[in-house]
């Protein structure tokens, strides 16, 4: 897939985010995880402050979001989470995940990255190099699995 010249990657630590950028990231996360998935959960979990935030915009519209958490924050290992796409089927999810893996390596020296994936998305995450590493468990009323990416 060719990258549209108007597709822009943004990468910032929490303290670098403007108020408007933070609002947009939280708005998109809430739109998908709370409204679309009808799931009341604690999105503001205290891990954002230590994370690197990534988002893709297309002509100024946010189309994908993710955060990369250092080891010992959200999970024991370095982790990627809050992965959202607002324009499905366009490849933006894979792009944001590839960038998130690169950030894990670049910023945190990742040799291994863990995620808590919604079970239905297993194939998507396998497509970017993750492998299932746990049995199914319930998280916020939704079946999840732990998946792991390893360098190399």
The tens digit of pLDDT for each residue in 122-139 reads: 999 999 999 999 999 999
Quick one: pLDDT at residue 1? 35
Domain locations in the chain?
7-150
25: helix, strand or coil? helix
- CATH of range 7-150; options 3.40.630.30, 3.30.465.10, 1.10.1040.10, 2.20.25.10: 3.40.630.30
DSSP 89: T
Count Cβ atoms within 10 A of the Cβ of residue 14 and give its class: 0-12 exposed, 13-18 middle, 19 or more buried.
middle
Quick one: pLDDT at residue 5? 62
Quick one: pLDDT at residue 2? 41
Over its length of 152 residues, how does the chain's per-residue pLDDT go in tens digits?
345 468 999 999 999 999 999 999 999 999 988 777 777 777 889 899 999 999 999 999 999 999 999 999 999 999 999 999 999 899 999 999 999 999 999 999 999 999 999 999 999 999 999 999 999 999 988 999 999 999 98
Task: Calculate the alpha carbon distances from 42 to 93, 102, 108 in Å.
Answer: 23, 27, 25
pTM attached to this predicted model: 0.91
């Amino acid at each position: 897939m060719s990258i549209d010249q108007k597709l822009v990657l943004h990468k910032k630590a929490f303290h670098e985010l403007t108020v408007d950028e933070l609002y947009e990231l939280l708005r998109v996360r809430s739109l998908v995880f709370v409204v679309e998935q009808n799931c009341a959960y604690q999105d503001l979990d205290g891990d954002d402050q230590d994370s690197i935030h990534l988002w893709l915009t297309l002509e100024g519209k946010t189309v994908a979001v993710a955060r990369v958490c250092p080891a010992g924050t959200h999970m024991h290992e370095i982790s990627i989470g809050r992965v959202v796409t607002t324009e499905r089927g366009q490849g933006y999810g894979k792009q944001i995940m590839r960038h998130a893996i690169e950030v894990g390596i670049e910023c945190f020296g990742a040799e291994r990255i863990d995620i808590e994936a919604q079970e239905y998305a297993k194939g998507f995450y396998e497509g970017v190099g993750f492998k299932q590493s746990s049995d199914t468990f319930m998280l916020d009323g939704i079946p999840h699995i732990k998946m792991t990416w390893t360098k190399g």
